[in-house]
Amino acid sequence: MKKTILSIMLLALVLPFTSCKDEETIKPQSVVFETDFNKAADSKVLYAFEDLMPNVDGWTAFFTEYPDGEQTFYELTSGIRNLPEPLDQTKKAYMLSGNNHSDALQMWLVKQLSGLTPNTKYLVETEVELASKYPDGSVGIGGSPGNSVHLVNKFATKGYTTPKGKNEGDNIKLVLNKVENTPESVLEYELGDVTISGDQYVYKLISRKKSSGTSVIQSDNDGKLFAIVGTWSGFEGISTLYYTRIKITLTQK
């Protein structure tokens, strides 16, 4: 009887310490998705029909906020290109370019992320490196070619649609598919603008990094969700950007 009482007392002393130790060692699980477009492009054979919108490590390009059928007038182009001077022209990037006649043009890269825990909420941190040539404080038609071009990250559990307007001449839209009664099914936040230091229009590599704070995105039943990275513009001219690296870190809430 005495041995039984002694064993119970010892167990009572040990359990709290074991519990504390387990709590200290258990950390939220994180999943990192990172694409270096130079390495990804070099490891992939790009066929002729993929020249404009290749699939590189799952990332593909698309444009919104322009009238359907006006791709040529808006000078919409994208694809894997060598970096421009004075950067290392032996390295590649995913280039997006367009002429913002609508004062609202959006240029995007999209990828479906997989391998997540199904139906789970995640905090997000995004880091994007790209080549830009538009100085901070620069002036242009409708707005600054640097300060008025906003870098944005969007997420959607159930993907997105690009509906056309009801009337001829209406712009193509980007609509994130929301899940009813699930506000965590969509998430978006700005990463900053595309300005460079100095006052010369010369391409430089810039980096933008930001987290979602306390906001979360939820994976679907298969542990997947869509990530969209790109720009919306108030500058009514040509913007040409070269994406070199995208890193997205998802941490279980």
Could you give all domains of the chain from N- to C-terminal order, each with its CATH number? 28-252 (2.60.120)
**pLDDT in the model for residue 165:** 81
Nearest to 244 by CA among 139, 109, 111, 103: 109
- Cα gap 117→64, rounded to integer Å: 31
Is the CB of residue 153 less than 8 Å from the CB of residue 189? Answer: yes
- Residue 5's pLDDT is what? 46
pLDDT at 167: 83
Give residue 9's pLDDT: 45
Question: In the β-sheet with 186-193, what is the strand arrangement from edge to edge?
Answer: 60-64, 106-113, 225-233, 149-156, 186-193
Q: Tell me, what's the pLDDT at 28?
A: 74
| Structural Rg of the chain based on CA atoms | 23
**Could you give the count of Cα atoms lying within 13 Å of 27 in the half-sphere of its Cβ?**
5
Quote the distance between the C-alpha of residue 92 and its chain's center: 19
Per-residue pLDDT of the chain (253 residues; tens, 9 = 90+): 444 444 444 444 444 544 444 445 566 799 999 999 999 987 765 544 445 557 899 999 999 999 999 999 999 999 999 999 999 999 999 999 999 998 999 999 999 999 999 999 999 999 999 999 999 999 999 999 999 999 999 999 999 999 998 887 899 999 999 999 999 999 999 999 999 999 999 999 999 999 999 999 999 999 999 999 999 999 999 999 999 999 999 999 9
- Going by C-beta distance under 8 Å and a sequence separation of 6 or more, which residues neighbour residue 236? 100, 101, 103, 140, 141, 142, 143
Instruction: Report which secondary-structure segment, H or E, holds 183.
Output: none
- Residues ≥6 apart with Cβ < 8 Å to 51: 79
Task: Output the pTM of the full model.
Answer: 0.87
End-to-end CA distance of the chain: 47
b/e code 35-58 from CB counts within 10 Å (16+ = b) = bbbbebbeeeeeeeeeeeebebbe
pLDDT of res. 78: 95
Longest dimension (CA), the chain: 91
Element (H, E) at 68: none
